Amino acid sequence: DTGVSQDPRHKITKRGQNVTFRCDPISEHNRLYWYRQTLGQGPEFLTYFQNEAQLEKSRLLSDRFSAERPKGSFSTLEIQRTEQGDSAMYLCASSSGQGKLYEQYFGPGTRLTVT
């Protein structure tokens, strides 16, 4: 069990560019969550996958954001045409369900800076 990993840890991009982040959950976890955390705030829910199905999306997830989990393992979060307001820490978490539904294990996050 190597924990949840995220790549890259830091990303600096210019406004208007596209960025993609990757999350590798704990291997036996079928549930995967993306959160966004801005400075001085707690994480805000963005989206949720159970296996490869995306079951819930927050209104925070504008049309410029897309998330996938193609084989029910790793997930990607893409932001198109980045804006300065997208600067934040993007956190991924996973859980196994099965009575431990709320034990979400978080990765270290990807810090995005849009200049």
**Residue 12 beta carbon to another protein: minimum distance, rounded to whole angstroms:** 16
Q: Which stretch binds another protein (CB under 8 A): 12-20, 63-71, 74-82, 92-100?
A: 92-100
**Which one-letter amino acid corresponds to residue 1?**
D
Q: Which of 91, 90, 73 is nearest to 26 (CA)?
A: 73
- Which of 17, 62, 78, 103 is the binder for another protein (CB under 8 A)? 103
User: Strand pairing of 10-13 and 110-114?
Assistant: parallel
Q: Which is nearer to another protein, 56 or 83 (CB)?
A: 56
| Site for another protein contains 72 (CB under 8 A) | no
* Cβ pair 114, 84 in contact under 8 A: yes
Distance CA 103, CA 115 (A): 35
Site of interaction with another protein (CB under 8 A): 4, 31, 33, 35, 40-45, 48, 50, 55-56, 91, 93, 95, 97, 101-109
